[in-house]
Copies of this chain bind each other. A is one copy, B any other.
Amino acid sequence: MTQSVRTRLSPAERREQLLDLGVRLLATRSLDELSIDLLAEEAGISRGLLYHYFGSKHDFREAVVRRAADDLIAQTAPPVDGEPEERLLVSMAAYLDYVVANYEGYLSLVKGAASGNAALRAIYEEARAALTDRIFREDAGNQILPDTPAVRLVVRGWSAMTEELVLTWKVEPNGVTREELIGILAGSLRPLVEATLLQP
């Protein structure tokens, strides 16, 4: 049955399906643990076929990480309607849940990007830029976030802070609840920007 479904997929569809599987495997594993062998075993197909789809181990990992970054951006999209603060709250809740659900893979991406792996760094930076740009785009007319170099810098810093908060909380929640943390993540942006605009 599985076989008959599989054979009806085009090569492009099959590749997408394998990428999805790679992302799922990455949720509970580091990038170093994500191998062609593992994917072959989980997908029930040959290593040779996987090399046909992905070229090399590095290309495969890069493709999986790129897909994971796209998933993160899609899943944290704020709702279309609602007050700005409420929409940011929904987006940050999705971010928190994404990082918690994909902790091992996310952490290994952060580490890989920081350690100077150029391909991972590029994907990480692109994703961060997309998330930051969206923050500015979502603020119609830039009423809350004037688009100045200082505010751009601070939004980037806020982004690094939210990542640190979620990764630390995942390991040591110390009694801080999910709701409290989401409130901190979303509620910190506006005061930070206001404090920035107070600078002469």
Contact = CB atoms under 8 A, between A and B. Distances in A.
Copies in the complex: 2
A7 B111 CA distance: 45
Interface string A165-200: 100110000111001110110011011101110111
Point out which of A160, A161, A180, A196 has the most chain B C-beta atoms below 10 A from its C-beta: A161
A128 to B, nearest CB: 10
Interface in A97-124: 110-112, 114-116
Nearest to A196: B184
Interface stretch (A21-29, A59-67, A68-76, A146-154): A146-154
B150 A156 contact: no
B187 A199 contact: yes
Contacts of A115: 111-112, 114-116
A164 B113 CA distance: 14
A91 interface: no
Contacts of A149: 174-176
Interface of A: 110-112, 114-116, 149-150, 152-154, 156-165, 168-169, 174-176, 179-181, 183-184, 187-188, 190-192, 194-196, 198-200
